[in-house]
Homo-oligomer: A and B are copies of this chain.
Amino acid sequence: MMAVLGENRYGKAEVRVVRIDRGRRPHAISDFNVSISLSGDMEEVHLSGANDQVLPTDTQKNTVYALAQKLGGVEPEVFALALARHFVEGRPAITRAQVQVDSYGWSPVGPHSLVRSGGEVRTVTVVHDEQSGSWVLGGLRELTLLNTTGSEFWGFAKDSYTTLAETTDRMLATSVEARWRFRGADCDWAAAHERARQALIQAFVDTHSYSLQQSLFAMGSRVLAEAPEVCEVRLALPNKHHFLVDLSPFGLPNDQEVYLAADRPYGLIEGQVLAEDAPEAGPVWS
């Protein structure tokens, strides 16, 4: 039985680059974690170890630092696009480049001093393909939201393993992971990110929710409504369960005051919301 090579890619992952823009007051900072995956005509290296077409991952790392200097203080989408195009346009053997950027936020606390903004991470995925061109996903993760009320869960399907009680008032919390596909590769990226982010928060806040699925669809739809540059949203919403603690053994009431925050297991709701006229997605999600 012959073994044959299928899809493959390679690159440098998690290049941590920090760029200071000293021309601004207060000093501004770009704090990125960059991962690169290249694919193309790579059969030979797999079969015989011949590296003629293999641009070292060390070179890819160098390129991240060099482009950080050349591009200046740009949005992460711009950085990822330039990097992906560099590899595809510079090397015939490479037909597709994927670049992922995690961007960490900092806030000024002095003319040359900053404080890290915390858990939330802005994410970018770019694919540049020799044939189909450039594709851009914006996104974020670790945006943790909680509604203390305004959430119900009842009328659900039941089988012989169902013990869950119905409720018309529960706490609902989730750590949002969202990615959104842009229609094009040119945009006011910072403004679009901020509008998409606010849309996610606002839809979560505004939705009187009968299920986390309903919140998910509302959040995706709101992004499409507020950010017309976006044609598709994918969300993964873990249901971070908060269970009301039974205090009756201690003769105490618990009128939705004291909760146990559980780690595992957790519900996980995943879904895709598309603009009616969304074009085909191309290779960017794979």
- Chain A residues with CB under 8 Å of chain B are 1-22, 27, 29, 31, 35, 37, 42, 45-59, 61-63, 65-66, 68-70, 90-91, 93, 106, 109-110, 112-120, 143-150, 153-164, 171, 201, 204-206, 209-214, 216-217, 220-221, 224-225, 228, 232, 238-239, 242, 245, 247, 249-250, 252-254, 256-277
Contact, CB under 8 Å: A16 / B146: no
Chain B nearest Cβ from A153, distance in angstroms: 7
Contact, CB under 8 Å: B3 / A114: no
Chain B nearest Cβ from A145, distance in angstroms: 6
Instruction: Report copies per complex.
Output: 4
Q: Tell me which of B18, B160, B217, B260 contacts A17 (CB under 8 A).
A: B260
Given A6-B232, A16-B265, A18-B261, 20 further pairs, Cβ under 8 A: A1-B228, A1-B276, A2-B276, A9-B270, A13-B267, A13-B268, A31-B261, A45-B213, A49-B211, A49-B213, A54-B157, A54-B213, A55-B158, A56-B164, A58-B163, A65-B258, A106-B146, A113-B204, A115-B146, A116-B145
Q: Tell me which of B51, B120, B274 contacts A118 (CB under 8 A).
A: B120
Contact, CB under 8 Å: A11 / B115: no
If over half of A's interface residues share one DSSP class (helix, strand or loop), that class is named, otherwise mixed; here it is mixed
Max count, chain B CB within 10 A of own CB: residue among A49, A55, A143, A260: A49
Contact, CB under 8 Å: A259 / B50: no
What residue of chain B has the Cβ atom nearest to residue A87's Cβ?
B159
Q: Tell me which of B59, B144, B273 contacts A116 (CB under 8 A).
A: B144
Residues of B within 8 A of A51 (CB): 153-157, 210-211
What residue of chain B has the Cβ atom nearest to residue A275's Cβ?
B1
Residues of B within 8 A of A8 (CB): 213, 216, 269-272
Contact, CB under 8 Å: A268 / B156: no
Contact, CB under 8 Å: A269 / B10: yes
The 30 listed contacts between A and B (C-beta, < 8 Å) are A1-B228, A1-B276, A1-B277, A5-B217, A5-B271, A5-B272, A8-B269, A8-B271, A9-B271, A10-B269, A13-B265, A17-B260, A18-B171, A19-B257, A27-B149, A45-B213, A46-B271, A47-B214, A49-B211, A51-B155, A51-B210, A55-B159, A62-B163, A62-B249, A66-B247, A66-B252, A91-B157, A112-B150, A113-B146, A118-B118
